[in-house]
Chain A
Amino acid sequence: GQQLNQSPQSMFIQEGEDVSMNCTSSSIFNTWLWYKQDPGEGPVLLIALYKAGELTSNGRLTAQFGITRKDSFLNISASIPSDVGIYFCAGDYSGGGADGLTFGKGTHLIIQP
């Protein structure tokens, strides 16, 4: 299936720095989702966005659903060591529940001591 264009592929940052990643698609999605995955685990939902233009926060995380419904970004403020992991964006057509998610390729977040 189609994949989303997620960038950057990896990030090497210092603890306390802010992080920003984004996803774009040539297709319109009804829902944008951001997940974090730790090694050997399934993805854990961070933020779900349901409306174009929607800006949603979850603690230090902020995500927005682009106006065109073809893009989204995720920001993490004041990063801490436990933020390390792989972050995936995912688009959901969710027209009738019959479709699986389309995932981005992931952003590997590495925090340097």
Chain B
Amino acid sequence: GAVVSQHPSRVICKSGTSVKIECRSLDFQATTMFWYRQFPKKSLMLMATSNEGSKATYEQGVEKDKFLINHASLTLSTLTVTSAHPEDSSFYICSARDSSNEKLFFGSGTQLSVL
């Protein structure tokens, strides 16, 4: 079945540093990928839609300069949390939409802890 690989699975960083999270579709092409944020025992909230070859579309309230998204190829999207602060600590999950059949597949998530 289709697989979405998300790395790293867990990252701990110091406040003020930047962290990059990768989301790869391993056996399908994804024109569109999505980034979600999830707080403990809460629902997934869509942060942004990542479009291959164009700018990402951000949901209301999500800072574009804070959460940089790059979708340079049909199989890779990256989310960079810039100048991370403790309040950015969260579980980040990506999903990729298979361009051939529109089905969505999720990565396994990245637990970010900012000290």
Contacts and interface: CB of A to CB of B under 8 A. Distances in A.
B67 interface: no
B77 interface: no
A51 interface: no
A97 B44 CA distance: 19
Chain B interface, DSSP helix/strand/loop, else mixed: strand
Contacts of B104: 33, 45, 92, 101
Contact of B93 (A43, A86, A106): A43
Interface residue tally on A, bucketed by range: 20 to 34
Interface residues of B, number: 29
Interface of B: 6, 31-32, 34, 36, 41-46, 49, 51, 59-60, 91, 93, 95, 97, 99, 102-109, 111
Interface string A25-46: 0000000010100001111110
Nearest to A99: B49
B34 A100 contact: yes
20 contacts: A1-B45, A1-B46, A1-B59, A1-B60, A33-B104, A40-B111, A41-B108, A42-B6, A42-B109, A43-B44, A45-B104, A45-B106, A86-B41, A92-B104, A98-B49, A100-B36, A100-B49, A101-B46, A106-B42, A108-B41
